[in-house]
Amino acid sequence: MLALLGATFLLCGCYVMQAATGQWGVMSKSRPITAVLADPATPAVTRDRLTLAQQARDFAVHELELPDGKSFRRYADLQRPYAVWNVVATPEFSVEPRHWCFPVAGCVAYRGYFQESRARSLALKLSTKGDDVTVGGVATYSTLGRLADPLFNTMLGWRESRFVGTIFHELAHERLYVPGDSEFNEAFASVVADEGVRRWFESQGRGADLGAYRLAGSREADFAALLRDARDRLSRLYASGLEPQAMRIDKQREFGGLKFAYEQLKQRWSGYPGYDAWFARLLSNADLASVATYRDCVPGLQLELRAAGSLPAFYARAAELAQLDPAQRHARVCGK
C-alpha cells in the first residue's frame, strides 16, 4: 500500500518539524534521473529501473492523460527500506479509522512519519490510551504535484507491474484529489493504475504478463472481500451493546475466524502464500481499516470506468463525484 503526505510542511508544532526536516532530507538526496543515468557509477539494475520509470512516465502522460508535471523526474536513494511509516488507529470497539486533518490534504485516515521511531512512539501513545494501532512502512508518497516527487530506491526491487502501476497511481493523485476523502482518492488512483498496467502490457503484446497481473488482481479482490466480511461482522458486534469484556472475547474470536477463513481461501488459490505474512501478525481493527482505505471504493469506481467507456470520460465522471457531498459519493461508489 502507498502513502499520501499532503502538504504537512504547512502545519505547526513538532509534527511539522519532522515533516519539514524529512522532506528536506528527501529533496537533498534526489538527483535528476538523466544525471543518474549518465553517471558511469550507477549500477546496471538501477539504470534499468530508471529507464523503465521514464518509459512508464511517458506512457502515463501520453496514453493515460495523467499530468506531465514535476514528479518522477528525479531519483533519491534514501538508504532505508521505506520512504515513510504510516500510523493507522481505531477505537477498541470500532472498525472506523481515526482521521488527522491537515491543510490542502484535508482529513486522512493515517499519519505519516519519516522516521520509524516517531511513528512507533505515536502508536505506543495511542495504544496506551486503548486504541487498536498498526504501523506500516510505505515505499513512496505524493505531495500532489506541489513538489518534485522523486522515484525512490525503495521501489526498485518490485516486479514490473507494481513498479509502473505505482507511477500511474501517484500521478493519478495529481489528476484528481478530494480533500478529506482518503477512501475515494486511493480507490480512484488504484483504478487508474490498474487500467494503466492493463494497457501497458497490451501495448507490448505481453499476454502472459497480463494474465499473471489479472490473477494477482483477482487474489487481491478475494483478500479484500475476506476483510470486508470480517469488518461487517465486527461492526455488528460493536453495535450489539455487549459488556466490554464479553465484547473483547468475541472480538478475538472473530479475528481467529478470519485467519481460519484465510486458510480456506488459500485452498481455493492452490496454496498460494502471498498474504501469509499479513495474517501471521496479531491482527486488530486497525489492520482491517488500513486495507479498507485502499479497497472499499474500488469496485464502484471500476463500474464507473466501464460505464464511461474511456479514460477521459471516466475522469469527467470522477470529477462529478468529487463535487458531491461525501455521504452521497460514498453511497454511490463505496457501498456505504
- In this prediction, residues 163-184 reach a mean pLDDT of 94
CA distance 66 to 36: 24
- Model-level pTM? 0.90
* Sheet of strand 132-138: strand arrangement: 111-113, 84-90, 132-138
Smallest Cα–Cα separation from 311: which of 17, 62, 61, 64? 64
Q: How far from 24 is each of 27, 107, 235, 238, CA to CA, in Å?
A: 5, 23, 41, 43
CA distance 131 to 256: 19
With 70 as the cut, is the pLDDT of residue 298 above it? yes
> Which is more confident, 182 or 218?
218
Q: What grid cell was written down for 185?
A: 482518492
CA distance 156 to 163: 7
Write out pLDDT tens, residues 13-35: 567 677 888 889 999 999 999 99
CA distance 57 to 150: 12
